[in-house]
Amino acid sequence: MKTVLCNVERLSVSYRTPAGVQHALKSVNLDIFAGEKLAIIGESGSGKSTLSLALTGLLPDEALVEGRISWPGPGFDPVPGRDIGIVFQDPGSSLNPVLTIGDQVGEGARRHLGLGRKAAREKAVELLSRVRIPQPENAVSAYPHQFSGGQRQRIAIAAAIAAGPSVLIADEATSALDTIVQAEIAVLLEDLVKNGDMTLIFVTHDIGLAASLADRIAVFRTAELVECGEARTIVHEPQADYTKQLLTTHIDLDSPRLVGASYVR
Amino acid sequence: MKPLIRRFVSSPEGVAGALLLLSLVLAAVLGPFILSGDPAALVGRPLLPPFADASFPLGTDQLGRDVLTRLVYGSQASLTVGFASAVVAIVVGTLVGTVAGFAGGLVDEGLMRIVDAFQIVPGFLLALAFVSVAGPSLAVIVLAIGLGAWTGPARLARAEVLSIRERDYVAAARVIGMHPAEIAFREVLPNALPPVLSLVSVIVAAAVLIEAALSFLGLGDPNSVTWGGMIADGRNLLRSAPFLSIIPGLGLVSAVVGIYLFGEGLVEALSIRGRRL
Amino acid sequence: MSVELLSVEGLSKRFADRRRTVAALDDVTFLIGMGETLGIVGPSGSGKSTLARVLLRLVEPDSGRILIDGEDWRALSPKALRQRRGSIQMVFQDPLSAFNPRTTIGKAIMDPLRIHAVGNRGARHAAIADLLQRVGLPAEMAGRRIHEVSGGQRQRVALARALASRPRLVVLDEALSALDVSLRGKMLELLVRLQVEEGISFLFIGHDPAVVRMISHRVAVMDQGRIVETGDADAVFSDPQSQTGKALIAAIPTWR
């Protein structure tokens, strides 16, 4: 059956601000299973990004953390870069504009797998072709600004999986991209997870994307976990009122239009 | 205004600097009334050390003039020159930089070549040359130091304006139909100013020191008592009466430290929400 | 009699860098009627944002005609343009960067009122309160700055400012894309209500066809600077004819 990769137990994260203590996460209990695609849904302020930072160990020093995150799956705490990869929302700022993408993609392999320069370069070419960047042998010497937003996000994904992590976290990785590119990245992520035997945790505000891509969905609202379960169940038989609200307010092509029949000239 | 003050007060350096400066300024302004003496008057035995005689707390110099009175009068010249020069430098520099950055093209090119020309000459030499030609009055000294220091603010203001020009709120101002001049001076300039103001402390401190150096060299205003002049006067007596140079020297040090700390607080106060604007 | 508000003909704009020229807009032609909403969808790089900036004359096109209420918009002198700008306004994608961080919301809304001499000085403060209330915000918000109000409220403030000069057309450039999903519906309802009450036309640029469809009467699909398909919003999205249209619809996650 499904093995538990990660166990989040009563996790709370808060910050001290001039206005008082702000809670980013309140007592979250969540299991993550190996090999699954888990979607974390929420709106701004829900705590979803805090959770991905907590899982990766990237919370800022000022964060006040209670509870714990344990990793029964691997049996040890994952090292960011080697065991967990993360892709962020803005492809423009996650890549260093003055380094070639070959350097950036290969860095994970060099640092965590101990590959030398030549071997890392070959690995970078292989990774770039895996994320379907055209002409990867040329691309390794190119710079981020020479690529489109969607391509940069693919490059960021390649960099994130360079050391062969078992967990990939995509934090709103497609939110800044148009729908066509978003669909392509979603397909890519699905492929990578299947072929690479990885666990995918993706954070999004788009319930439609979550429903189409995820095995399970966890719904967050103002720092709390509202509901978690199989994607199909969450979408068709939501228990929590908030989930129901998210589903009814979701706009798709079948939603009734707000303007009447075609404009009469 | 209130949030500005609140942010300033939250910075310990700023408060320390403000207190130091305030005491110096108060001393400079109120001192003459409290002490009711003439800094040039020969009032006591020459070369009395400090704390020896209650009526001359900081002693007297080689001509028998009261050091404390001279110190207080001297602070007026130093602080006035310091602040006035900084005002000249920042006002001129910000205006030039904003016009250059906003207008672009030939105007920008032309103005920047002028900035280059001024920047080539070291500030102190420029002040020296100016004063030698135009005569050593406080006004000339202020102008001389200001003209040496305006290039830094100009470049910084221009750089800020170039970046602010691309922001959405500048586009929004155009969309609303705002006149370019209004956009430059009401939308862009106030947002370009905070980083430029971070130069205040450097400029004021440098101005105070340049004025002291000019006075030390005998090019200061001969009609005023200045700390630089006091240091110069005590130069030959460093072995026997070091306090004559050290006391005005300490005055300079506290002024510069106070200015620096105040500047830190100012920058803190002007940043909105921790974001440097 | 024509009830056209905006007529755009043959709008073209190329951007050139050292290596190549990109056609950001290529012979773009369309109409918007009074009180109508035209949606513009397309992948990134299709020219949607360039279209918005060219229409607002933030960027000048290489060629083409823009007629607003029959008047040649491109022929206006800088001074005349500033005076006419009240009739076409824009809501930007990111409300936080679209406002001067140092000024209050009240001042930001006062600017267009003052520049276009809407009402007399005394009436303007009341007008600001009225505008804020019309977009569902409390009048006291005028004293705050843009970063002091919540994300959901910011775009409403932007809308209030856009409405101040009583525009005939408002360009919404990805105006809902940065909003929380649950707030989009309310914002769309507000836009439709304003359209019905004031007869404003909207040019609604977005990358999500489902959202654009909600309030658009007609929609134009753009790709690489050209309009590749136009028609009634429902018709285009239920049965797209163009390659791009089909790709956009196919990209929508299917799950229900």
Report the half-sphere exposure of A87 (CA within 13 A, side-chain side): 32
- Would you place residue B272 in the very low, low, confident or very high pLDDT band (cuts 50, 70, 90)? low
Q: Is the pLDDT of residue C1 over 50?
A: no
For residue B221, being part of any structural domain is answered with yes
For residue B52, being part of any structural domain is answered with no
Nearest to B177 among C58, C98, C115 (CB): C115
pLDDT, residue B22, reads: 86
CB-based contact A180 C251, cutoff 8 Å: yes
The three-class DSSP label of residue C137 is coil
A258 CB neighbours in chain C (<8 A) are 188-189, 192, 214-215
- Would you place residue A261 in the very low, low, confident or very high pLDDT band (cuts 50, 70, 90)? low
Nearest to B169 among C100, C116, C165 (CB): C100
Per the prediction, chain C carries an average pLDDT of 92
Determine what percent of chain A is predicted with pLDDT higher than 70: 98
Instruction: Specify the amino acid at residue B41.
Output: A
Could you give the CA distance from residue C247 to residue C228 in angstroms, rounded to a whole number?
12
Neighbours of B107 (CB within 10 A): 13
ipTM greater than cut 0.85: yes
| A260: its two tokens | 């009447």
C255 CB neighbours in chain A (<8 A) are 208, 211-212, 235
Higher pLDDT, A55 or A149: A55
pLDDT, average across residues A101-106 = 91
C97 CB neighbours in chain B (<8 A) are 167-169
Cβ-based neighbours of B164, under 8 Å, separated by 6 or more:
B170, B188, B191, B192
pLDDT, residue A113, reads: 86
Tens-place pLDDT, residues C55-92: 999 999 999 999 999 899 999 999 999 999 999 999 99
pLDDT, residue B276, reads: 40
For residue B77, being part of any structural domain is answered with yes
User: Smallest CA–CA separation between C78 and chain A, in Å?
Assistant: 33
- Would you place residue B1 in the very low, low, confident or very high pLDDT band (cuts 50, 70, 90)? low
Q: Name the DSSP letter for residue C175.
A: T
Report which secondary-structure segment, H or E, holds A31. strand A20-33
Q: Is the pLDDT of residue C102 over 80?
A: yes
The three-class DSSP label of residue B163 is helix
CB-based contact A257 C250, cutoff 8 Å: no
Are C48 and C222 in contact by the 8 Å Cβ rule? The answer is: yes
| A3: its two tokens | 């093995």
CB-based contact C102 B272, cutoff 8 Å: yes
For residue B277, being part of any structural domain is answered with no
pLDDT, residue B123, reads: 82
Give me the number of domains chain B comprises.
Answer: 1
pLDDT, residue C246, reads: 95
pLDDT, residue B95, reads: 93
- Would you place residue B208 in the very low, low, confident or very high pLDDT band (cuts 50, 70, 90)? confident
User: Smallest CA–CA separation between C155 and chain A, in Å?
Assistant: 15
Could you give the CA distance from residue B154 to residue B89 in angstroms, rounded to a whole number?
9
pLDDT, average across residues B109-131 = 90
| C218: its two tokens | 């007609």
Q: Does C155 touch chain B (CB under 8 A)?
A: no
Tens-place pLDDT, residues C153-174: 999 999 999 999 999 999 999 9
Could you give the CA distance from residue B258 to residue C14 in angstroms, rounded to a whole number?
56
C248 CB neighbours in chain A (<8 A) are 179-180
Residues of A in CB contact (< 8 Å) with C are 43-44, 148-150, 177-183, 186, 205-209, 211-213, 235, 245-246, 249-255, 257-259, 262-263, 265
Question: Would you say the pTM of this structure is higher than 0.80?
Answer: yes
pLDDT, residue A1, reads: 56
Neighbours of A123 (CB within 10 A): 22
User: Smallest CA–CA separation between A264 and chain C, in Å?
Assistant: 9
pLDDT, residue A111, reads: 87
Higher pLDDT, A141 or B218: A141
Tens-place pLDDT, residues A31-59: 999 999 999 999 888 889 899 999 988 89
pLDDT, average across residues B209-227 = 84
Nearest to B176 among C94, C97, C115 (CB): C115
User: Smallest CA–CA separation between B262 and chain C, in Å?
Assistant: 22
Could you give the CA distance from residue A41 to residue C181 in angstroms, rounded to a whole number?
11
User: Smallest CA–CA separation between C82 and chain B, in Å?
Assistant: 4
Q: Is the pLDDT of residue A264 over 80?
A: no
The residue range of the domain holding B116 is: 2-46+59-270
Cβ-based neighbours of B204, under 8 Å, separated by 6 or more:
B82, B83, B85, B86, B259, B263
Could you give the CA distance from residue A64 to residue A48 in angstroms, rounded to a whole number?
16
Instruction: Specify the amino acid at residue B240.
Output: S
Note the Cα C78 to chain centre separation in Å: 22
pLDDT, average across residues C37-57 = 93
- Hey, which chains touch A, using 3+ CB pairs under 8 Å? C
CB-based contact B177 C112, cutoff 8 Å: yes
Q: Is the pLDDT of residue B268 over 80?
A: no
pLDDT, residue A263, reads: 54
Are C187 and A256 in contact by the 8 Å Cβ rule? The answer is: no
pLDDT, residue B226, reads: 85
Are B229 and B216 in contact by the 8 Å Cβ rule? The answer is: yes
Ordered strands of the C226-232 beta sheet: C88-91, C169-173, C201-206, C37-41, C218-223, C226-232
Tens-place pLDDT, residues B5-51: 777 787 888 888 888 888 888 888 888 787 777 778 787 788 888 88
pLDDT, residue B277, reads: 37
Tens-place pLDDT, residues C190-242: 999 999 999 999 999 998 899 999 999 999 999 999 999 999 999 999 999 99
For residue B24, being part of any structural domain is answered with yes
- DSSP characters over A108-135: HHHHHH---HHHHHHHHHHHHHHTT-SS
Q: Does C117 touch chain B (CB under 8 A)?
A: no
pLDDT, residue C80, reads: 94
What does chain C come to in residues? 256
pLDDT, residue B275, reads: 45
Q: Is the pLDDT of residue A146 over 70?
A: yes
Q: Which residue of B has its CA nearest to C112?
A: B176
pLDDT, residue B197, reads: 81
CB-based contact C89 B175, cutoff 8 Å: yes
Nearest to B179 among C82, C90, C161 (CB): C82
Tens-place pLDDT, residues A177-227: 888 889 999 999 998 888 878 999 999 988 999 999 999 999 999 999 999
Q: Is the pLDDT of residue A74 over 90?
A: no
Q: What is the 3-state secondary structure (H, E, C) of A38-65?
A: EEEECCCCCCHHHHHHHHHCCCCCCCEE
pLDDT, residue A265, reads: 45
For residue B14, being part of any structural domain is answered with yes
Which site among C192, C234, C252 would you substitute to test the A interface, given the most A Cβ atoms closer than 10 Å to its Cβ?
A: C252
Determine what percent of chain A is predicted with pLDDT higher than 90: 49
Q: Using CB atoms and an 8 Å cut-off, which of residues 54-73 of chain C contact chain B?
A: 56, 58
- Hey, which chains touch C, using 3+ CB pairs under 8 Å? A, B
What CATH number has the domain bearing residue B149? Answer: 1.10.3720.10
Are C205 and C51 in contact by the 8 Å Cβ rule? The answer is: yes
pLDDT, average across residues C176-181 = 86
Q: What is the 3-state secondary structure (H, E, C) of chain C?
A: CCCEEEEEEEEEEEEECCCCEEEEEEEEEEEEECCCEEEEECCCCCCHHHHHHHHCCCCCCCEEEEEECCEECCCCCHHHHHHHHHHEEEECCCCCCCCCCCCEHHHHHHHHHHHCCCCCHHHHHHHHHHHHHHCCCCHHHHHCEHHHCCHHHHHHHHHHHHHCCCCCEEEEECCCCCCCHHHHHHHHHHHHHHHHHHCCEEEEEECCHHHHHHHCCEEEEEECCEEEEEEEHHHHHHCCCCHHHHHHHHCCCCCC
User: By 3-state DSSP, what share of chain A in percent is helix, strand and coil, each rounded to 5?
Assistant: 40, 25, 35
Q: Name the DSSP letter for residue C19.
A: S
Q: Is the pLDDT of residue B274 over 60?
A: no
Q: Where are the domains of chain C?
A: 4-100+166-250
Tens-place pLDDT, residues A17-28: 888 889 999 999
pLDDT, residue B102, reads: 92
Note the Cα C80 to chain centre separation in Å: 22
| B149: its two tokens | 């220091």
pLDDT, residue C175, reads: 93
B174 CB neighbours in chain C (<8 A) are 56, 58
What superfamily does domain C4-100+166-250 belong to in CATH? P-loop containing nucleotide triphosphate hydrolases (3.40.50.300)
Per the prediction, chain A carries an average pLDDT of 89
Report the half-sphere exposure of A192 (CA within 13 A, side-chain side): 30
Q: Name the DSSP letter for residue B122.
A: -
CB-based contact A211 C234, cutoff 8 Å: no
